[in-house]
């Protein structure tokens, strides 16, 4: 009975995939605007599907997203596409560009939102602590 070994390059490839996902999450957390754009497209897809259950979910390019500087949007779209969180389709000269959140984007979004909430809560607590400490010293 022979035992088959998994080639080491397969294992290395698997590790690199996990490191890449961690890198993407880290980049997304460091750039909250990216998360806002991804979340916006996800919400738009849900709205479109609710209005038309037979829709394929493609959303026309958004030139305004609340909380995001409009000039940053082209670069953010590019980053989200590069990270395979958003895909695009050119519908035609008159129709423009359409976007859709990928499966990877849909899987990552809840984790990102949870981590961002935690991060924002921590930052808010850190801002409150010095005020409370100063108040305690003056009492």
| More confident site: 114 or 129 | 114
Interval 40-65 mean pLDDT = 94
**For the segment 75-92, what is each residue's pLDDT rounded down to a tens digit?**
999 999 999 999 999 977
Beta-strand pair 59-60/96-101: antiparallel
Best CATH choice for the domain 10-138 from the list 3.30.499.10, 2.30.30.90, 1.10.10.10, 3.50.50.60: 1.10.10.10
Write the CB contacts of 80 (distance below 8 Å, at least 6 apart in sequence): 34, 37, 38, 86, 105
Q: Is 132's pLDDT higher than 70? A: no
> What does the alpha-carbon distance between residue 26 and residue 131 come to, in Å, rounded to a whole number?
30
> What does the alpha-carbon distance between residue 11 and residue 109 come to, in Å, rounded to a whole number?
27
pTM (whole model) above 0.85: no
Q: Percent of the chain scored above 90 by pLDDT?
A: 48
Concatenated DSSP letters of 10-79:
HHHHHHHHHHHHHHHHHHHHH-HHHHHHHHHHHHHHHHHHHH-TT----EEPPS--TTS-GGGHHHHHHH
pLDDT at 131: 52
């Amino acid at each position: 009975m022979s035992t088959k070994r998994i080639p080491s390059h397969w294992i290395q490839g698997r590790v690199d995939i996990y490191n890449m996902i961690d890198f993407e999450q880290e980049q997304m957390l460091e750039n909250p605007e990216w998360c806002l754009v991804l979340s916006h497209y996800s919400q738009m897809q849900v709205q479109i599907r609710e209005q038309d259950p037979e829709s394929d979910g493609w959303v026309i390019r958004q030139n305004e997203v609340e909380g995001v500087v409009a000039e940053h949007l082209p670069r953010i779209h590019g980053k989200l596409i590069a990270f395979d969180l958003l895909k695009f389709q050119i519908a035609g000269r008159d129709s423009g560009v359409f976007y859709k959140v990928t499966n990877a984007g849909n899987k990552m979004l809840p984790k990102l939102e949870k981590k961002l909430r935690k991060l924002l809560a921590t930052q808010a607590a850190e801002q409150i602590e010095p005020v409370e400490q100063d108040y305690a010293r003056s009492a």
